[in-house]
Amino acid sequence: MATVTQASQQTVCPNYVNGQWIPSRSTRNLERRNPADHQDLIGYAPLSSREEVREAIEAADHARAMWRDTPAPAKGKIILRAARLLEEQKDEVARLLTREEGKILSESLGEILRTVNIMEYSAGEARRLTGETMPSELANNFAYTLRQPLGVVGLITPWNFPVAVPVWKIAPALVCGNTVVWKPSELTPFTSRKVVEIFAAAGLPAGVLNMVHGRGEEVGDEVVGHPSVRAISFTGSCEVGGIIYAKAAQQMKKVQCEMGGKNPVVVLEDADLELAADNTVAGAFGSTGQRCTASSRVIVEESVADRFVKMLVERANKLKVGNGAEPGINVGPSVDEAQFKKVLEYIDIGKREGQLLCGGEQLKGAHDAGYFITPTIFDHVAPMARIAQEEIFGPVMAVIRVKGFEEAISVANNVRFGLTASIFTTDSNRVFQAAERLECGMVHVNSPTVGGEAHVPFGGIKATGIGERETGSTAIDFYTELKVVYVDYTGRKRESKIY
């Protein structure tokens, strides 16, 4: 990803501020090329200035009162119109997503359809922003709660799900009456632009949703530190999330961070091995392993390990790597050169830490124009090895052999992350024991670590997550403040005291 100073204005993705598409005043831009074909120049992402971010925040702050006072069901109708527009344009948006981020077309389309579900659910929540009534300790006293918006919220999102993750932040934030300043990843500026175009076309008023492109060190830092921004929702690395959490806390801001994962798949000796192998390979190598929920650790009982590992290798070797826009492709490229090099470095580390069974190679020849790496499996990996502890974000699987269930749970929990986990077994007792004891935010039984539904909370524990969960009803908890109201209808001063 090259930084350039000269670019045609027609090829530079503009910012969106106060209802207008505005070219950045910065002369610094980042080149974005198709990760599957370096000859395909998509365009440039501007490296906007702090001043441009402040203008976006000012626009959001100015629109805040108007949007707060708009009836919630009216807000929901706009979100629902946006859902219908995205559904109508799903094929176009999916092709753009694949071209810019690299995932295969069927996965891009799946992301779009999930996003539509998220928008539909969020639109419905506009009619469910309810409080509760409670009996008072006093006679002739009415106690109730209501939810109110935070104000201006700052959203910082990653490149690996450039439609779904932003929307599962934007939609509930808007439904709750907040205005938004969004910093998308500089790796997916044109997909981000399409998201904003759809919200704007749905009738969102000027200033309610603003988008500014740029580096996290400048644009993101200004969003986090600006006093008018009352809450931050971030998805990305643990390192950046920790910085954001600390800085926002100094201003007493509400913070939500969803960060890394090193997700285990536990395969017990009584499991349906065919089912487990199919799901584990899909969970590890789908989206090129570039998702926080990827199945990157496989913890298998020794008694079935040889047979199971053989099944994994057979399936991995059948996966076709290439340009995700082409039919029949199963695994696309790494998103950019930096991520590509990071994966290759971890593969070199893995060769010293485990037994390489398949993959681990950069594709050559016809694939020279893309960042392609073959699906990689390491066996006999120690639980504390780097490839078993650190998030790689690529098509790399580490197999760890254990003696039994107790050791499997211990190994599964012995990482800093806690996003998601899977267990494959036919023993219902083990299912419920694992569900209680696995240290993670989400447990899957006889299915891969990936996946989630629009109305169900998403998130993790330990180093993975800080703050309320995303999606589902818990998203409303983050984007609102709870207010308690006491109404005394005696019409006189009370003699009794409340302590």
Domains of the chain: 3-259+464-483 (3.40.605.10), 263-445 (3.40.309.10)
Residue 192 phi, psi dihedral angles, 5° rounding: -65, -40
Among 220-234, 254-268, 363-377, 432-446, where is mean pLDDT lowest?
363-377
Is-catalytic flag, 111? no
For residues 120-144, average pLDDT: 95
| Conformational region of residue 131, where left means phi above 0, alpha means psi within -120 to 50, and beta covers everything else | beta
Q: What single-letter amino acid sits at 447?
A: S
Residue 3 has pLDDT above 80, yes or no: no
H helices of 182-332, in order, are 189-201, 221-225, 238-250, 273-285, 302-318
The pLDDT value given to residue 8: 55
Angle CA 100–107–464, to nearest 5: 85
The pLDDT value given to residue 495: 76
H helices of 209-285, in order, are 221-225, 238-250, 273-285
Residue 7 has pLDDT above 70, yes or no: no
Residue 433 has pLDDT above 70, yes or no: yes
Residue 499 has pLDDT above 50, yes or no: no
Is-catalytic flag, 258? yes
Residue 498 has pLDDT above 80, yes or no: no
- Condensed to tens digits (0 to 9), the pLDDT of residues 322-372 reads 999 999 999 999 999 999 999 999 999 999 999 999 999 998 877 888 999
The pLDDT value given to residue 365: 77
What whole-number distance in Å separates Cα of residue 196 and Cα of residue 215? 19
Contact 396, 387 (CB under 8 A): yes
DSSP 3-state of 470: strand
Strands 133-135 and 141-149, by their bridges, are antiparallel
The model's pTM is 0.95
For residues 65-92, average pLDDT: 98
| Residue 422 Cα to chain centre, angstroms | 19
Residue 62 phi, psi dihedral angles, 5° rounding: -65, -35
Q: Please return the burial class of 321, using the count of CB atoms within 10 Å of its CB with bins 0-12, 13-18 and 19+.
A: buried
The pLDDT value given to residue 494: 82
Token representation of residue 218: 């400048």
Residue 392 has pLDDT above 80, yes or no: yes
Length of the chain: 499
- Condensed to tens digits (0 to 9), the pLDDT of residues 275-287 reads 999 999 999 999 9
What whole-number distance in Å separates Cα of residue 42 and Cα of residue 37? 10
Residue 5 has pLDDT above 70, yes or no: no
Token representation of residue 210: 């603003």
Point out the catalytic residue in the list 13, 238, 257, 292: 292
DSSP 3-state of 198: helix
Q: What single-letter amino acid sits at 93?
A: V
Residue 202 has pLDDT above 60, yes or no: yes
Express as a percent the part of the chain with pLDDT over 70.
97
Residue 108 has pLDDT above 80, yes or no: yes
Point out the catalytic residue in the list 258, 301, 353, 391: 258
Residue 318 has pLDDT above 90, yes or no: yes
What whole-number distance in Å separates Cα of residue 392 and Cα of residue 262? 9
For residues 290-310, average pLDDT: 98
DSSP 3-state of 366: helix
- Average pLDDT score over the chain: 95
* CA proximity to 183, closest of 192, 194, 172: 192
For residues 226-251, average pLDDT: 96
* H and E: helices and strands count for the chain: 15, 23
For residues 471-478, average pLDDT: 93
